[in-house]
Chain A
Amino acid sequence: MISHPIASIIGILIVALSLSAFLIWVERRLLALWQDRYGPNRVGPFGLLQVLADMIKIFTKEDWIPPFADKPVFVIAPAIIMVTVLMSFAVLPVAPGIIVSDLNIGLLFFLGMSSLGVYSIVLAGWASGNKYSLLGGLRAAAQMISYEVFMGLSLMGVVLLAGTFNLTRIVEAQRGLWYVVPQFLGFVLFLIAGVAEARRLPFDLPEAEAELVAGFHSEYSGMKFGMFFVGEYLGITLISSMIAVLFLGGWNGPWLPPLAWFLIKVFAFLCFFILLRASLPRLRFDQLMSLGWKVMFPLALANLLVTGAIVLAKK
């Protein structure tokens, strides 16, 4: 087992980045499968090299900064999302011993980092100097505020049961029973909040290519656009990993090695995210807000209350 932190850092970085690049191919193939098409299957075996071809294309594209943009902020915005998402991977327990930093407050660190990620979107929308981008940024801000709240609340049930914020210990506490069973409501709520957090359909309102050109990244091109793109896929990978860690027992599972179990669970949720995109239409903005505040938020609170009462009664 790798246990040296530097080895873990490099390993997780390489795997996370190549996985999110590979995800672009997976998404296109799976979307095609569910729409009775083939998707990219020409470049290389099964079209696997399509990602490489797209990479070369995006690297050689002109990297243009519009004259009306706020230049420093415009340049820094795409970096923020990459940094915050990659930072969150630091507290992710992949397998016993494979973790960059076994923080005591790992869960809080993850929540904090994912909230910081919103700055990337809001600043990108603001600095672009374009009304569509600005609308995308505004939507991102409002969406994040309303979804962050019950996202944190839905996780508190897990914290109550495990009695710790440390992600490794949360995984170990699930050795007998995965938290998806006692915390089913929390699981569903976190899944929905995760989709909103990753800005995926049906909650991709900041991007909403049907209404807002491309939302917050309308003005971005070349490598900066590539960073938003990879950042989005990294975000999905992160949320899927978090669901696996918090509700599906992380690396726990019979027969197979821990790493394999973790990857299987993550991949299953990645596919589920893509299935959501293939099947559901985008919500209207007011529907999104009222769903968040009027349905999800009370449900998360009730879940927390009931879990707390049961934990207290058991003591």
Chain B
Amino acid sequence: MLSVIRTIWNVFLHSFRRRVTIQYPDEKPYLTPRTRGRIILSRDPDGGERCVACHLCSAVCPVDCIALQATEDENGRRYPEFFRINFSRCIFCGLCEDACPTYAIQLTPDFEMSEHNRQNLVYEKQDLLISGPGKYTGYNFWRVSGVQIEGKDKGEAENEAPPTDVYRLTP
């Protein structure tokens, strides 16, 4: 009997507590920078496109929502001819970001992507590509991997595997 009265009293005391609701459209919740939301394609600090069209992100994607086509520019540098993410299928798992060797593909804290028309959720490369480096500033894939420097040829540094012979099929 006493415990019942104490329960009622304790619940009544909640009238003076702060309310925990965040009134969303008026009041935005704080989202950490690593929140997994809308996906972007970033550029390296020199302004070049980071993506090398390696297809790792589209291969790892559990719902197969990334589609891209690789092509090469006049210097033999690979880049995606088109890059398409279907956000109506994306589950924002972040595996693509983990798989990407160049930090090109990144998830951002923006989640407000509602559309009336489902077709508008298919983002093309011009919708995805931003002009900055995103979360990883100062990283340029081509400066640190697979480059030849004075006194060291490709694949000769410590812990570095020799370059793949693209003309052989064995792994």
Which A positions have Cβ atoms within 8 angstroms of B?
32-38, 275-276, 278-280
A33 in contact with B23 given A275-B8, A276-B8, A280-B8 (CB within 8 Å): no
Could you tell me if B8 and A34 are in contact, using CB atoms closer than 8 angstroms? no
CB-nearest residue of chain B relative to A272? B8
How far apart sit A275 and B23, CA to CA, in the bound complex (Å)? Answer: 24
The yes or no answer to B28 lying at the interface (CB within 8 A) is: no
The docked-state distance in angstroms from the alpha carbon of A34 to that of B19 is: 9
List of B residues within 8 angstroms of A35 by Cβ: 14
Chain B residue, CB-CB nearest to A37: B21
- Residues of chain B with a CB closer than 8 A to A36's CB: 14, 17-21
Q: Does B4 contact A (CB under 8 A)?
A: yes
For this complex, 19 residue pairs linking A to B, each with C-beta atoms less than 8 Å apart, are A32-B19, A35-B14, A36-B14, A36-B19, A37-B19, A37-B20, A37-B21, A38-B19, A38-B21, A38-B23, A275-B11, A275-B12, A276-B8, A278-B11, A279-B7, A279-B10, A279-B11, A280-B7, A280-B8
Cα separation A130 to B11 with both chains bound (whole Å): 36
- The residue of chain B having its C-beta at the shortest distance from the C-beta of A41 within the complex is B23
Q: Is B15 interfacial (CB-CB < 8 Å)? A: yes
In the complex, A34 Cα to B15 Cα: how many Å? Answer: 5
Q: How many Å from the CB of A268 to the closest CB on chain B?
A: 13
Alpha-carbon distance between A275 and B4 when the two chains are bound, in angstroms: 12
In contact, B15 and A33 (Cβ under 8 angstroms): yes
Residues of B within 8 A of A (CB): 4, 7-8, 10-12, 14-15, 17-21, 23
Bound-state CA distance A33–B4 (Å) is 20
Least CB distance from B103 to A in Å reads: 41
Please name the 6 residue pairs, one residue from A and one from B, whose CB atoms are nearest each other, closest first. A279-B11, A34-B14, A279-B8, A38-B21, A279-B7, A36-B20
CA distance A275 to B11 in the complex (A): 8
A42's closest neighbor in chain B, by CB? B23
Contacts of B10 in A (CB 8 A): 279
State in angstroms the CA–CA spacing of A200 and B125 once bound together. Answer: 59
CB distance from B165 to the nearest CB of A (A): 64
**B18 contacts across to A, CB distance below 8 A:** 36
Q: In whole Å, how far is A216's beta carbon from the nearest beta carbon of chain B? A: 27
Considering only CB atoms, which chain A residue lies closest to B12 in the complex? A275
Residues of A within 8 A of B7 (CB): 279-280
* Pairwise interchain contact A34-B11, C-beta atoms closer than 8 A: yes
- In the complex, the answer to whether A33 meets B8 with C-beta atoms within 8 Å is no
**With A and B bound together, what is the CA distance between A36 and B13 in angstroms?**
11
Cα–Cα, bound, A276→B23 (Å): 27
Residues in A with CB closer than 8 Å to B23 are 38
By a CB distance below 8 angstroms, the chain A residues around B17 are 36
* Assembly CA distance A124 to B8 (angstroms): 33
Cβ of A189 to closest chain B Cβ, rounded Å: 13
Query: A33 CA to B18 CA in the complex, in Å?
Result: 9
User: Which chain B residues border A279 with CB–CB below 8 Å?
Assistant: 7-8, 10-12
CA distance A275 to B20 in the complex (A): 19
Q: Is the CB of B21 within 8 A of A34?
A: no
Cβ of A269 to closest chain B Cβ, rounded Å: 14
A299 vs B21: C-alpha distance in the bound complex, in angstroms?
44
- CB neighbours of A38 from chain B (8 A): 19, 21, 23
